[in-house]
Amino acid sequence: MKYDHLLGRPFDYKNQNCIHLVRDFYADNFGVQFPNFACPKQFWEHDLNLYMARYQKCGFYLLDCHPSQYLPGDVILCAVESSIGNHAGVFVEDGQVLHHMFGRLSVVEPYRLLLRNTTLAVFRHKDVVLEKTETTANLLDLVSPSIKRKLDEYLGSSRPL
């Protein structure tokens, strides 16, 4: 998958935001073009659930599976400091997510912490055949920090497993 050229882009709400990044990724990797929808600033603050209203029009369907079954090319929808989805990213290899957060440069980061804890939905495109990549993963990366602390406490005690 090609995305190195999408890294380090400065955030510009009108021209280079998270959905522009997903659109460019899909165009470059799969030849898929999305319609250009109007998107008012801070739409989520006005109870406009734009991602959920439009994902099917863009050819996506909602996944109902465990995170271990997410594939490179799947799109995540997050609700960052909101109850409405307001941030999108796309899975790339090794459990990493390409995304472009408000006020930051576009990056690839592990699917954990903020991204994992704010995910509302994961989508797959109906016209794109995604291939599962064989990778190994540290299962503790999928566990929340509070559960990790409990495991550390448990394993640190002299209790038998």
Q: 70 lies in which domain range?
A: 4-131
Task: Report which secondary-structure segment, H or E, holds 52.
Answer: helix 50-54
Q: Which pTM value belongs to this model? A: 0.78
Task: Report how far residue 57's alpha carbon sits from residue 54's, in angstroms, rounded to the nearest whole number.
Answer: 5
Q: Maximum Cα–Cα distance for the chain, whole Å?
A: 59
pLDDT 10s digits, 89-147: 999 999 999 999 999 999 999 999 899 999 999 999 999 888 765 555 566 676 778 87
pLDDT at 137: 59
Residue 146 counted as domain residue = no
CATH number of the domain encompassing residue 34: 3.90.1720.10
Task: Report which secondary-structure segment, H or E, holds 90.
Answer: strand 87-91
Could you give the residue numbers annotated as active site?
18, 87, 99
In this structure, the dihedral spanned by the alpha carbons of residues 154, 155, 158 and 161, taken in order and rounded to 10 degrees, is 90
Task: Report how far residue 36's alpha carbon sits from residue 77's, in angstroms, rounded to the nearest whole number.
Answer: 18
Residue 25 counted as domain residue = yes
Give how many domains the chain has, as a whole number.
1
Asked whether 22 and 89 are in contact (CB, 8 A), the reply is yes
Residue 24 counted as domain residue = yes
Task: Please name every residue paired with 99 in a beta bridge, in sequence order, or none if there are none.
Answer: 89, 107
pLDDT at 71: 95
Task: Please name every residue paired with 122 in a beta bridge, in sequence order, or none if there are none.
Answer: 76
Task: Report how far residue 8's alpha carbon sits from residue 11's, in angstroms, rounded to the nearest whole number.
Answer: 9
The pairing of beta strand 87-91 with beta strand 75-78: antiparallel
pLDDT at 21: 95
